[in-house]
Structure 1
Amino acid sequence: MNAINPNSLSILFSFKMRTLLTLLISTFSLVNVIAQDNRGEINTKISSATAQQLARATIQLHRATDSAILRTSVSDDSGRIVLKSVPYGEYFLTVSMINHRTNDGKQFQLASPFFNHPEIKLEAEATGLEQVTVTAKKPFVQLMPYKTIVNVEAGLTNTGANVLEVLEKSPGITVDRDGNISLKGRQNVLILIDGKQTYLPASEIAQMLEGMSASQVDQLEIMDNPPAKYDAAGNAGVINIRTKKIKQRGFNGNLSSSYGQGHYYKNNNSLALNFRRDNLNVFLTYSSSNNGNFTDLDANRVYYSPGTKNIISRLNQDGWLAGNIQNHTLRAGADISLGKSTSIGFAASGIAIKRKGNNTSTSTWDDETGATDSLIRTFTNNRNRFRNVGLNLNFKHAISKSKDLSFDVDYLDYDIVGRQNFDNITETPVRYVETLKADLPSTIGIFSGKIDYHQQIDNSSSFDAGYKSSAVRTNNKAEYYLLNNSNWDVDYDKTNYFAYRENIHALYISGEKRLNAFTLQGGLRWEHTSYNAAQTGNPTRKDSIFDRSYHGLFPNVSVQYKADSNNTFALTAGRRLDRPPYQKLNPFVLVINKYTYMSGNPFFQPQYTLNLQATHQYKEYITTSINYSVTNNYFSQIFFQDDKGIIYYSEGNLGRMRNVGISVTAQTNVTDWWSVNTLMNLYNKKIEGNSVMPGETQLTQFNMNLGNQFRFQNGWSAELTGFFVTKERELQEITDPTGQIMIGVGKQVLKNKGSLKLTLRDIFYTQAMKGDTDFENAFEYFKLTRDTRVLTIAFSYRFGKSFKSTGKRTGASEEMERVGTGG
């Protein structure tokens, strides 16, 4: 009998205790809120003197009898504030915002489930930085009817992390071993940065996010079923990564630096500068990172006689990849008011990422009896360079107080270069050396433009419409060479040149109407896609050319019903599209190691998904959602082998995927100093179709995020968070459960202008990725361990000075603060 591992018992016991604690807390808060009655909901809207919506204004609810502050909240992007579950009584509101005069409202009485407070207007007024007092701290997670917001800086354990790691611990999000991001069990999430597409394939997005420091990010906006103004791409929804921006007037800045130590060091630095005065705003941000990392791979592959389970050979591979990622990101731009109702903005950005890695691996071939047949040592050297330049020009004009028009033009240029060197040394039975090298350059040019119209018809109705067009041009080379007697001979079996051209045109209309307790939203988006691609031939392969054109309608509907001040119900439905990444259409061959290749698929087709969701929100504490989706032409990894025993990783379409699940999000203040947020997601995924062989698989899966935030006296704070994922499955691959626990502590210093933070990620070193892969006549077990246990110390400091405006503040000044600069 095998001995029980004490570490396994400790981890299992720790997980069960955390789960029990979460259930107890959720039960306590649920019983507590159910016991309350005679409560109502207060709705109001915050705007400027020029009728512009004001986001992130601070509102305080005061009891009329003694002026005690009972509730504090912050307005959303549309200036709206909803205070739920307020006991009946007499109150007044106080609203404040940086560079605006505080508004002390009139007394009113709440005596019904709904109270619509008159719109509150704030007069602009510049104030000194020393006069500003922060009256409310953002929660780590904010629940809204149609999206979830994660305030990245509010999470202490995000200190020193990269953006991919932040996503991994965010509600409902998982990241697999290849960096693919899933939302509630579904892959193909549309990733936006400041509302703009990157147009990169998933692998390149993962590399970019891995090199991007969390210190650059303000919020994550997670939308399961986004409205029609967003691109139809992303069957699982949209994640919008909003970078930090300074909104105070005058010259202000923020400086941060962190050092982390795992197996290798991690260093992240950032600087943000902003000058805002009258009708001009200028900004500049710079960040850098230098992070060491490793991947420890253990893979055991078994080959069978065709059509049987009789073992004919085994391949055992052990590899150690030590690497380094260096990132430099620069963004700069300006917003200018051109008059009373018009503003213009422009921005430029640049990203430079260098990745290098050295891999040492040993491959042992055994025969059916287990005797070693051959032993091969592989030494691999990888060098990758990623460069991106982005330019943005935007324009916004307020036609009237209720109508506005905006225009955006973007240009993106990517220059990606990869170089690989392989030395395969066969030690037994006869020693010989095979040397291979590869140059893998690619360029991507993207131009996009869009125009959007918005009209506020009345206080309860709005209308939106818009048009977008984009063009992608990419060129990819893969040049492989074999060393032959001191000469480099071209390996034509792997060498290729691939050119791709794509154009997308889209139109949309949408509207919103509020009818008493109902809010109705609907939209329709039309998209047309056309592309052509060409692979240049060589002496062993002919030229190949293929093209395709397709279009579709993508409706989106939602109905929200406020039954009372405690309960809100919502139904949403939408159709979405995922296009094959253009680089995956290239029938290339990329060498991973001597016995594992990756290849493209020119027959890759788009997939279409129908999403349905029913949601119930109880006060501000618990949100429950039931999700159902069906995807046709489902994207999936496909694995096959050739007659030499080489395994190929590719991607293609299966027949169908059905996903049904339930998610529960709960957040509560256990005490004045302890808050808890939890997300539990249970779903069943069924996949059926043909890859290498017909198949069908079904698995019920579960993932959970748990966060505890603690606020103590004298500027001290702490956090304990974690996530857990059960087995996950695709048609040919299944991965084992994984997760991690993180802890952090922070202290405000230098008169609250600075902060010190200390965090430890993956305390128990449990975030290994392991699983099984089935091939047609083979089976593989794999395990990947990475540098995930990291101790980090970080310091940040904000500085600057605000001053009074020297000129008259126009209506366009408010527009200028809201214009999207692309920075």
Structure 2
Amino acid sequence: MKLLITKIRYLMLLLIISGAAAAQTTKPIGTVSGTLLDEQSKPFGYATVSLLKATDSTTVKGTLSSDAGVYIFDNITPGTYIIKATTVGYSAVTSAPFTTTAANPGFTAQALKMHAASRALNTVTISATKPLIEHQVDRTVMNVENSVLAAGNSAMDILERAPGVSVDKDDNISLKGKQGVTVMINDKLTYLSAAQLATLLRSTDGTTIQSIEIIPNPSAKYDAAGNSGIINIKLKKNKQAGTNGSITAGTGYGEYWKDNETLTLNHKDGNLNVFGSFSHNDNKYTQQIGLKRIITDSTGHQTFFNQSTAMPQVNHNNSYRLGADYDLSSKNTIGFVVSGYFNGEDDNFNNYTNIGKNFTEVDSSLHTVSAIHQTYHNIAFNLNDSYKLDTAGQEISADLDYSNFRNGSIASYTTDFFLPNGSVQQPQQFLGNITPSNIDIRTGKVDYAKPLTKSLKLETGLKYSDVKTDNNLLQTESQTDPYIDNNHFVYDEKVDAGYVSLNKDFKNYSVKAGLRAEYTQSSAVGDSANVVQSISRHYFDLFPSLFINHTINDKNEMSFSYSRRIDRPQYDNLNPFVFHLDPYTYQKGNPYLKPQYTNNFEFDYTYNKSITLTLGYSKTTDVITQIPGTDPTTKVSFVTQENLQVQNAYNVNLYAPYTIAKWWEGNVNATAFYLGFKSNDLEGGNLDNGQWAYQMRATQTLTPLKGFKFEITNQYQSALTYGLFYVKPRYSTDAGVSHSFADKKLNVKFSVSDIFNTLTNNVTSNYQDNNLVINQKRESRIARLTLTYNFGNNSIKARQHQTGADEEKNRVKGAN
């Protein structure tokens, strides 16, 4: 297998060499090309560029400028043309007329400069802003930077409001109804588990976010993880020269007070750019969980458990980011980033359980008090180098990353047992847990891009990742006895990856085809009560991808995409440790989990570059799903993860922006989806669950008064089935208003989430001997007031780089 990986690496190098040779021997025929620049003469990417007839300004062709600001039109007949470039927030720019002839078919236009769209009106400057929701060819972008609802909210709060995204009671993120989403920050994987990722997102201040990109079908360039796509959270870029920054301070109140503070600084002098940020928040939340269970033993006798738990939680979160970029030349930039967090969490749970012949007749009861103190520490280092080999778009970049996570938990569970008359049934039970965890992540990657011709582009790259997690569990059953080392779990995973991708533009079509190869070596060793379990796996996978885009005319466009994906188990789901809620309820990991594989197909139709209809289908095998279980003898219930045989998912999505008046804009995002699960011999039965469901989200943006901006968002999710669980409908309404002062340097925002306090998670499951009902109500109605002050120089854009270690981080638990 190692020999095969070596051959793949040599093959990619040969492709690069052959691509360079092809570029030297291929002559463009019938093409018009050029470059877009910003006000500082730097490449301007992703603007809409149109080739127009000079006689009547009718559109001949349209395209987008690349990262390097380059645009190309091929198969152009001789004639006289002009070029027009437009994008949101910038004034349209038009070239002088030019003529192509059969004798000179390859025409290169003079560079066009884009200027920010602003106009002075009685000393008041009016600037264009991006819409809250923006649909692009391969992704949907939520422009958070100027959104009222971003003020005072965390990244998780904002993500829950993104189109097609939902977050369940356990903080699992779904896209169009499917779990298995890969979350990236600044184009880099986070390598965190669902719980750790939730902690990270809840402590990331919304004011530091620029946008959220939803990529349902990623190309071969991206890691193959994530069966339902990628969500990329982009932090704000440093755009200014000199010394500048911003200070944000906010407060919120729901059932408890909350606060958040953020400081960002940037200094650019010549070729050096230094940037940094620090965020802090103190949040106290509460949630109530009700759990009803019916346990049936082998004789048919039923026992009823009625549990209610108050779960107040206090978080103290601190995150930081420090970095620098240095331009060695106009073509070569090196940089480093140091980032991390240090967080604390205190949970004090009160759990009451009534046990009886039914839910009203109580034979006995118990009261469990849980005190849990958790700490989360992370530090990450990134070194990066980007080198532009020429002005045609040939570029090579490299990243080296190291991340360390140190998480710790000290928990105590005290349970008292009572008879119906209140007398003590049996002696008090005590359980103490100490669970230190250490995770090391090392990654390195190289990416290379080269235009082989003006219509053909090659991208290729290599990546290596090495992850080691070390978890320990120390326990005691007496407050006076020492803790005993009962469990030790170590997991190692190494992944070699390489990809090659070709992008070809035709007259009205563009095709992008790619292939990614990944070779995984993993080992899991668990030592529980001196019983050692060891599991090793080695597997090689190919992940093809295909994207076809067809422009019918100026108003109609269609595209098709296909990709194969993988989801490796999260690290904590492999850990076989048992974590108790009370003597009758616990959760545990499953070291025998296998990765799941998904084939995704998607068809898109776009009308007038705004209204989009999407049809999708995916099939996932060995789907990793949360499964409830019960021991009928002890009447103990538990939750674990298992591989189901197959999941079939269908989805239809409609996105439609609209304008009612100059001061009133909005958009509607509606998704209908079907999730079907099948698995034979699951807990003694054959599972065949599935149903259609839908999600709707409508956002209104109103500017009826000068300087004020109002936003209102309504969202609804119908009932749905996921695995063995039936989820009841969810709905909520959010609103906010903002106003700027002091020449837009001071901004004040006020918002209220879940105004009518309707957001709940209600779940049922009835399969084989499992019969349960879960009702969860989190603190969701929160009023927030946020002030942001911007200071310093604001004239020149500065480079922002993102690291290369995010897929692995996405699978860690408890991050910031």
TM-score of the aligned structures, taking structure 1 as reference length: 0.84
Query: For the residues of structure 1 that align with 2:587 and 2:94, how far apart are their CA atoms?
Result: 64
1:564 to 534, 540, 553: 553
Instruction: Tell me by how many angstroms 1:678 deviates.
Output: 1.1
Partner of 1:354: 344
Which region of structure 1 is more displaced relative to structure 2, 362-371 or 456-465? Answer: 362-371
User: Does 2:152 correspond to 1:160?
Assistant: yes
Partner of 1:817: 799
User: Does 2:111 correspond to 1:121?
Assistant: yes
Give SS of 1:247's match.
Answer: coil
Query: For the residues of structure 2 that align with 1:340 and 1:44, how far apart are their CA atoms?
Result: 19
Spell out the pairing of 1:722-801 with structure 2 (5 A cutoff): 722-774=714-766, 776-801=768-793
Partner of 2:27: none
Give SS of 1:487's match.
Answer: coil
Give SS of 1:473's match.
Answer: strand
1:588 to 577, 598, 603: 577
Residues 307 and 712 from structure 1, CA distance in 2 versus in 1: closer, same or farther, beyond 3 angstroms?
farther
Unmatched 5+ stretches in structure 1: 1-41, 66-72, 83-89, 110-115, 805-813
Partner of 2:333: 343
1:420 to 395, 411, 418: 411
Residues 557 and 57 from structure 1, CA distance in 2 versus in 1: closer, same or farther, beyond 3 angstroms?
closer
Instruction: Tell me by how many angstroms 1:154 deviates.
Output: 3.1
Give SS of 1:655's match.
Answer: strand
Residues 777 and 818 from structure 1, CA distance in 2 versus in 1: closer, same or farther, beyond 3 angstroms?
closer
Query: For the residues of structure 1 that align with 2:228 and 2:313, how far apart are their CA atoms?
Result: 32
Query: For the residues of structure 2 that align with 1:229 and 1:369, how far apart are their CA atoms?
Result: 55
Give SS of 1:161's match.
Answer: coil
Give SS of 1:625's match.
Answer: strand
What do residues 191-232 of structure 1 show as CA deviations (whole Å, max 9, x unaligned)? 111111121112211121122221121111110111111000
Query: For the residues of structure 2 that align with 1:514 and 1:436, how far apart are their CA atoms?
Result: 65
Instruction: Tell me by how many angstroms 1:625 deviates.
Output: 0.5
Unmatched 5+ stretches in structure 2: 1-31, 56-62, 73-80, 100-105, 806-816
Query: For the residues of structure 2 that align with 1:303 and 1:480, how far apart are their CA atoms?
Result: 28
Partner of 1:27: none
Query: For the residues of structure 1 that align with 2:579 and 2:33, how far apart are their CA atoms?
Result: 57
User: Does 2:651 correspond to 1:654?
Assistant: no
Partner of 1:296: 288
Spell out the pairing of 1:192-271 with structure 2 (5 A cutoff): 192-271=184-263
Supply the AA of the counterpart residue of 2:185.
Answer: I
Instruction: Tell me by how many angstroms 1:57 deviates.
Output: 7.4
Residues 617 and 706 from structure 1, CA distance in 2 versus in 1: closer, same or farther, beyond 3 angstroms?
same
User: Does 2:477 correspond to 1:482?
Assistant: yes
2:415·2:582 contact (CA, 8 Å) conserved in 1?
no
User: Does 2:303 correspond to 1:321?
Assistant: no
Residues 820 and 684 from structure 1, CA distance in 2 versus in 1: closer, same or farther, beyond 3 angstroms?
closer
2:468·2:492 contact (CA, 8 Å) conserved in 1?
yes
Instruction: Tell me by how many angstroms 1:546 deviates.
Output: 1.2
2:623 to 620, 625, 634: 634
1:335·1:821 contact (CA, 8 Å) conserved in 2?
no
Instruction: Tell me by how many angstroms 1:713 deviates.
Output: 3.9
Residues 774 and 101 from structure 1, CA distance in 2 versus in 1: closer, same or farther, beyond 3 angstroms?
closer
Query: For the residues of structure 1 that align with 2:360 and 2:755, how far apart are their CA atoms?
Result: 38
Query: For the residues of structure 1 that align with 2:792 and 2:47, how far apart are their CA atoms?
Result: 21
Query: For the residues of structure 1 that align with 2:440 and 2:251, how far apart are their CA atoms?
Result: 35
Partner of 1:4: none
Give SS of 2:192's match.
Answer: coil
What do residues 695-733 of structure 1 show as CA deviations (whole Å, max 9, x unaligned)? 111111101111001123421110110211111212311
Query: For the residues of structure 1 that align with 2:623 and 2:64, how far apart are their CA atoms?
Result: 41
1:101·1:123 contact (CA, 8 Å) conserved in 2?
no
User: Does 2:403 correspond to 1:408?
Assistant: no
1:101·1:122 contact (CA, 8 Å) conserved in 2?
no
Q: CA RMSD in A?
A: 3.4
Give SS of 2:223's match.
Answer: coil
Residues 638 and 120 from structure 1, CA distance in 2 versus in 1: closer, same or farther, beyond 3 angstroms?
farther
1:555·1:574 contact (CA, 8 Å) conserved in 2?
yes
Supply the AA of the counterpart residue of 1:528.
Answer: Y
Partner of 1:444: 439
Which region of structure 1 is more displaced relative to structure 2, 597-606 or 423-432? Answer: 423-432
User: Does 2:490 correspond to 1:508?
Assistant: no
Instruction: Tell me by how many angstroms 1:60 deviates.
Output: 13
Supply the AA of the counterpart residue of 2:273.
Answer: N
Partner of 1:151: 143
2:389·2:395 contact (CA, 8 Å) conserved in 1?
yes
Greater relative CO (CA pairs within 8 A, separation 6+): 2
2:274·2:324 contact (CA, 8 Å) conserved in 1?
yes
Partner of 2:424: 430
Partner of 2:3: none
Q: How many residues align?
A: 742
Give SS of 2:198's match.
Answer: helix
Partner of 2:76: none
Instruction: Tell me by how many angstroms 1:358 deviates.
Output: 0.7
2:748·2:786 contact (CA, 8 Å) conserved in 1?
yes
Spell out the pairing of 1:306-317 with structure 2 (5 A cutoff): 306=298, 312-317=302-307
2:45·2:69 contact (CA, 8 Å) conserved in 1?
yes
Instruction: Tell me by how many angstroms 1:135 deviates.
Output: 2.9
User: Does 2:517 correspond to 1:526?
Assistant: yes
Residues 641 and 254 from structure 1, CA distance in 2 versus in 1: closer, same or farther, beyond 3 angstroms?
same
Supply the AA of the counterpart residue of 2:539.
Answer: Y
Give SS of 2:591's match.
Answer: coil
Give SS of 1:372's match.
Answer: coil
Give SS of 2:145's match.
Answer: helix
Instruction: Tell me by how many angstroms 1:401 deviates.
Output: 2.0
Instruction: Tell me by how many angstroms 1:51 deviates.
Output: 8.6
Partner of 2:659: 669
Give SS of 1:230's match.
Answer: coil
Residues 118 and 366 from structure 1, CA distance in 2 versus in 1: closer, same or farther, beyond 3 angstroms?
farther
1:640·1:775 contact (CA, 8 Å) conserved in 2?
no
User: Does 2:611 correspond to 1:625?
Assistant: no
Residues 208 and 96 from structure 1, CA distance in 2 versus in 1: closer, same or farther, beyond 3 angstroms?
closer
Give SS of 2:634's match.
Answer: coil
